[in-house]
Amino acid sequence: MAHVVTGVLRRGGRALRSVGPATVAVTVALIIGAAGFADAATGGNFLVGKTNTDNATTILRDTTGIPLALSAPAGKSPLSVTNSTQVNRLNAQYVGGDSASQLQSTGGAGSTAAEADIPLTEAYEPMASTGPLPAGTYYVSATALLSTNGDEPAYCEIGAAGVTNYGGGANAIDVQAAETLVATVPAGTVLSESCAGDGIGQYAYNAAITAIRINSNSVGTTPTTRRNRIVPFLPKRAPVIGPLRAS
């Protein structure tokens, strides 16, 4: 590029000798600027592939469409900034790779009608359900008041992702069943509290279930479980009779 500029000056040497020094200086500056030696400055042209400087705010307007579109290869950011100062009124579709719907607080809840008497059978039947849930990891809590008439125990359960939690039991006239569960579920999953009894004249009252998403990622994380561990030298006790199993 230097040879090009020198050649231009040589070919125009005779013409330059016929003008004053100030005109020569302006002419050389224009030639060099057109050759790409100088970066764009305030009031000048924006040079692609060059570092452009400015001492005033540049405003880009488009009355018919999007004023600015940036394109980058896959895996490359189309835009970068120099600091973490907040940009007011800047909307973003994704935050950390998650969409707005994934970041939105969500969950589900359900309950039985007030003072509804729901007869219990030997098979677990849903009492209250959450409705379809978005994908994610949920903290689930359920409760129901069971009337056993002091005859046989009754139980409730919530289960998801291969994990089941039971509540209830006791041969008492009224038993409060309460269950909690943490589970990662796919989209569309319905979580329910189901209850069962093993006698005649047993009922469930005021059943309710609530699921709150605690991980908004579309995949979620697998809850950790503690393995069973045998502690030596503990006194042996009679086995505990577990809850009824669904037939």
Q: What is the longest distance spanned by two Cα atoms in the chain?
A: 121
Q: Could you give the CA distance from residue 209 to residue 107 in angstroms, rounded to a whole number?
A: 11
Contact 213, 106 (CB under 8 A): yes
**What contacts 97, CB < 8 A, 6 or more positions away?**
none
User: 63 to each of 60, 91, 112, how far by Cα in Å?
Assistant: 10, 20, 56
DSSP readout, 162-216?
Answer: TEEEEEE--SSSEEEEEEEEEEEE-TTB--EEEEEESSSS-EEEEEEEEEEEEE-
Structure tokens at 80: 């970068």
Sketch out the chain's domains with CATH numbers: 1-52 (no CATH), 107-215 (2.60.120.40)
- The average confidence (pLDDT) of the chain is 75
Q: pTM of the prediction?
A: 0.54
Q: Return the top range by mean pLDDT from 22-26, 68-72, 112-116.
A: 68-72
15-48 pLDDT tens trace: 444 444 444 344 434 434 444 445 666 778 888 8
